[in-house]
Amino acid sequence: MKPVVWAQTLLGIWLILSPFVWGYSGFARGNDIVIGLLVTIISLMIVADKQIS
């Protein structure tokens, strides 16, 4: 497994959590959560695909 995929997963999780850690709201909060979810889901799909192959 490539470390880059795990780094992407961790960064996606950070994007989801960062609005709550730093306490900001509004469009920036929603944007970070949505992009974080997309990055995390895509990274986990890559991990799952590599394990099946």
pLDDT digits over 8-39, tens only? 999 999 999 999 999 988 999 999 999 999 99
Instruction: Indicate the number of domains in the chain.
Output: 1
Per-residue confidence (pLDDT) for residue 5, from 0 to 100: 85
Q: Are 36 and 15 in contact (CB under 8 A)?
A: yes
Q: Are 38 and 4 in contact (CB under 8 A)?
A: no
pLDDT-based confidence at residue 53 (cuts at 50, 70, 90): low
Which residues form the domain of 27?
A: 3-52
Q: Are 19 and 28 in contact (CB under 8 A)?
A: yes
What pTM does this model have?
A: 0.85
